[in-house]
């Protein structure tokens, strides 16, 4: 670089001064510096190509040639053995990113996402919920959203994530997405709501169409929605024992505890864990009081009867009261009393094993029947003195397994061959 900006730079400048003196012209120094600044790269390139400068190393030669004038644009590339495509190349393709997806693992008991893939799924659903063109905000209830919209959204989700049992996992994923969309609507309402209907209609977000915003605002100004908002506000005030899981879902937190301790925590144990701060204190006095009661009941537990997360009469239910329809407290999204409480988990592998056991029992029964028939036959043969009686005993065997066995020879018949 020193050679470029000192020796060669001065050499080019001296050439310009000499050329101007021969032509009888005399430019200002600033004009000379400007021309050197503009044309130096082209000058040094020509000098190197014609080998007019001695002592040029390979590195300096590459620098002198400068960047290539040709630009290559790639629309696909490989990373760690996986092929990826650029957005414009994938625009009209049915399979995006060559089928590379995030595998989402689920807990077989609760049916909730667990592991490292659960976090990206939740974050991506939050991002997807902000797309008001794909997911409009002008609806009163998530269950009332057009099925065509949900089908299209599910296809988008499946293009990014892989599920072992799509029909079953769809229930949880779409429910979680509905909650994210509800949060988007709440955020828009808090940010753009004004005192009157007319003022709120005019104060529209740029991302929301005028038609959507109009329907959305009119629904929010109805008496029905105002009463529902008041009811929800009162219910929220009763939530005085917040958890310390942060953004991590209950299912992922429970899975972390299971990996750490080697056993699945009960609801009582999970409540204590998620209401205890890192310094050992509880989030509030009420949580501390409830945790002490739960600890006492857990100490009275003689043995573990099953591996269920919750049951109708577990320690948590004894302290907090019975469950209400629709959800199971301290478990997370998805499980309901009818689906989870006091219900033993049955995986697909267990179902297959059960079917195999039934098949094996059937084979054992069939073999047992055959043994009984053979025992009876042998007893009859032992007590038989003539060939005719032997043939009669053999013919009376009812088992179909001996249908192709040839009949025993008659000793009274003579074979002359």
Residue 356 has a pLDDT of 64
Q: At what angle do helices 166-192 and 147-158 cross, to 10 degrees?
A: 110
How far is it, in rounded angstroms, from Cα 407 to Cα 415?
A: 16
Q: Which runs of E-coded beta strand occur in 24-149?
A: 76-79, 82-85, 102-103, 105-106, 113-114
Give kind and range of the element (H or E) at residue 20. Answer: helix 9-22
pLDDT, mean over the chain: 79
- Could you say which DSSP state residue 276 is in? B
CB atoms near residue 112 (< 10 Å): 23
Express each pLDDT in 272-295 by its tens digit.
Answer: 999 999 999 999 999 999 999 999
Give the three-class secondary structure for 82: strand
Enumerate long-range contacts of 92-96, CB under 8 Å, 24 or more apart. 95/159, 96/159, 96/160
Q: What percent of the chain clears pLDDT 70, i.e. is strictly above it?
A: 76
Residues 6 or more apart whose Cβ sits within 8 Å of residue 128: 134, 135, 153, 156, 157, 177, 180
Q: What is the pLDDT of residue 405?
A: 46
Q: Can you say how many angstroms the Cα of residue 334 is from the centroid of all Cα atoms in its chain? A: 15
CA–CA distances in Å: residue 27 to residues 10, 97, 367: 17, 60, 114
CA distance 74 to 92: 17
CA dist 271 and 295 (Å) reads: 10
Helix (H, G, I), strand (E, B), or coil: what is residue 136?
coil
Question: Is residue 249 classed as helix, strand or coil in its secondary structure?
Answer: coil
Lowest mean pLDDT among 226-235, 246-255, 337-346, 377-386: 337-346
The confidence score (pLDDT) of residue 75 equals: 82
Choice among 13-27, 50-64, 179-193, 389-403 with the minimum mean pLDDT: 389-403
Q: Please tell me which residue, 222 or 110, carries the higher pLDDT value.
A: 222
CB 89 within 8 A of CB 97: no
Strand-pair category, 102-103 with 161-162: parallel
H or E segment and range at residue 162? strand 161-162
Beta-ladder partners of 79: 82
* 326 Ramachandran zone, left/alpha/beta (phi>0; psi -120 to 50): left
Residue 77: beta bridge partners? 84
First CA to last CA distance, the chain: 113
- Rounded distance, CA 334 to CA 176, Å? 9
Q: What is the pTM of this model?
A: 0.57
Which helix H or strand E contains 129, and what residues bound it? helix 118-129
b/e for 325-338, b at 16 or more Cβ within 10 A? eeebebbbbbbebe
In this predicted structure, what is the pLDDT of residue 401? 47
- pLDDT band at residue 173, thresholds of 50, 70 and 90? very high
- The confidence band for 355, taking pLDDT boundaries of 50, 70 and 90, is low
């Amino acid at each position: 670089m020193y050679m470029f900006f000192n020796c060669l730079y001065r050499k080019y400048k001296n050439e310009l001064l000499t050329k101007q003196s021969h032509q009888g012209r005399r430019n200002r120094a600033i004009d000379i510096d400007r021309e050197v600044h503009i044309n130096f790269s082209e000058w040094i390139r020509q000098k190197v190509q014609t080998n007019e400068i001695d002592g040029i190393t390979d590195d300096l030669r590459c620098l002198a040639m400068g960047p290539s004038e040709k630009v290559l644009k790639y629309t696909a590339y490989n990373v760690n053995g996986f092929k990826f495509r650029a957005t414009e190349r994938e625009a009209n393709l049915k399979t995006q990113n060559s089928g590379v997806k995030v595998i989402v693992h689920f807990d077989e008991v609760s049916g909730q996402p667990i592991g490292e893939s659960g976090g990206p799924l939740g974050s991506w659903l939050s991002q997807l919920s902000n797309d008001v063109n794909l997911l409009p905000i002008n609806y009163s209830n998530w269950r009332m959203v057009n099925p065509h919209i949900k089908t299209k959204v599910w296809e988008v989700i499946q293009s990014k994530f892989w599920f072992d049992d799509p029909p079953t996992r769809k229930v949880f994923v779409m429910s979680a997405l509905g909650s994210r969309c509800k949060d988007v609507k709440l955020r828009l309402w808090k940010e753009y709501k004004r005192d009157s209907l007319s003022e709120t209609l005019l104060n529209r977000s740029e991302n929301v169409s005028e038609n959507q915003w109009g329907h959305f605002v009119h629904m929010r100004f109805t008496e029905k929605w105002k009463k529902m908002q008041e009811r929800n506000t009162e219910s929220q005030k009763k939530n005085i024992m917040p958890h310390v899981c942060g953004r991590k879902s209950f299912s992922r937190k429970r899975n972390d505890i299971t990996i750490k301790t080697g056993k699945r925590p009960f609801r009582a144990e999970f409540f204590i864990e998620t209401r205890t701060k890192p310094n050992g204190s509880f989030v509030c006095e009420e949580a501390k009081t409830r945790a002490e009661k739960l600890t006492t009941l857990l100490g009275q537990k003689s043995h573990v009867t099953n591996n269920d997360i919750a049951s109708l009469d577990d320690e948590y239910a004894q302290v907090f009261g019975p469950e209400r329809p629709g959800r199971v407290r301290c478990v997370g999204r998805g499980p309901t009393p009818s689906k989870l409480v006091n219900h033993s988990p049955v995986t697909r592998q267990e179902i297959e094993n059960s079917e195999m056991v039934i098949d094996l029992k059937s084979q054992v029964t069939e073999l047992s029947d055959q043994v009984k028939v053979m025992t009876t036959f042998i007893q009859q043969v032992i007590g038989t003195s003539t060939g005719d009686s032997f043939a009669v005993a053999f013919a009376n065997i009812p088992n179909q397994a001996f249908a192709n066995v040839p009949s025993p020879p008659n000793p009274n018949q003579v074979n002359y061959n």
